[in-house]
Amino acid sequence: MFDFILKPSQRTIYERNFNDNPEKLKRWNNLLSIASKDQVTINESTAERVVTTPQKPFTASYLIDLQLGEVLVSTIASKSSWILEARDLSGDLLQDAQLKNNHLSLNYKPNKNIKVRIILQAKLETESTTDFKIYTLPQYDFPVAGKDNTAIQSFWGCFKRWRQS
């Protein structure tokens, strides 16, 4: 196909496997629909062990508020038996996870303050127990130890009055 031009999501590529079995695809998409209604909110980070079986495929979503200057990181220790993606609240795909060193890894840098939905879904017929993590990191490193994104103005040109003697 023309995937190198169109760059379809991992979900779209996986769904192609079900052209001859629409019932399985419908079941898998119903799990996504249910998970998309989850209101599980993550403040800064979470880690959990997830279990999926062919009888009970794991699907969940998590909400996290991202500020400009933060990076959302989400990883799952697995090869290619999972779909991990970041979506906005309207359901539009923001980013797909990429496979790196036997981990699916998502690194999303917003260009504005945004609420992001992380979706983790096992591919059908997968039997797996693995570790899943979500956390944020500052996008920028600061020259003063112990400071983070909240101190950005003091480093990047915030107007200061100087006393003259």
pLDDT, residue 50, reads 93
pLDDT, residue 22, reads 87
Q: What DSSP string describes 46-101?
A: EEEEEEE-SSS--EEEEEEEE-TTEEEEEEES-SSSEEEEEE-TT--EEEE-EEET
pLDDT, residue 149, reads 62
- Whether 150 maps to a domain, the answer reads no
Regions of the chain with pLDDT less than 50: 165
pLDDT, residue 108, reads 95
- Whether 163 maps to a domain, the answer reads no
Amino acid identity of 3?
A: D
Enclosing domain of residue 87: 3-141
Spatial distance between the Cα atoms of 44 and 51, rounded to a whole number of angstroms: 23
- Whether 164 maps to a domain, the answer reads no
Per DSSP, what are the bridge partners of residue 130?
A: 50
Spatial distance between the Cα atoms of 37 and 125, rounded to a whole number of angstroms: 24
pTM, two decimals, is: 0.78
CATH code of 78's domain: 2.60.120.380
pLDDT, residue 18, reads 82
Give me the number of domains the chain comprises.
Answer: 1
Q: What angle do CA 70, 59, 20 make, to 5 degrees?
A: 120
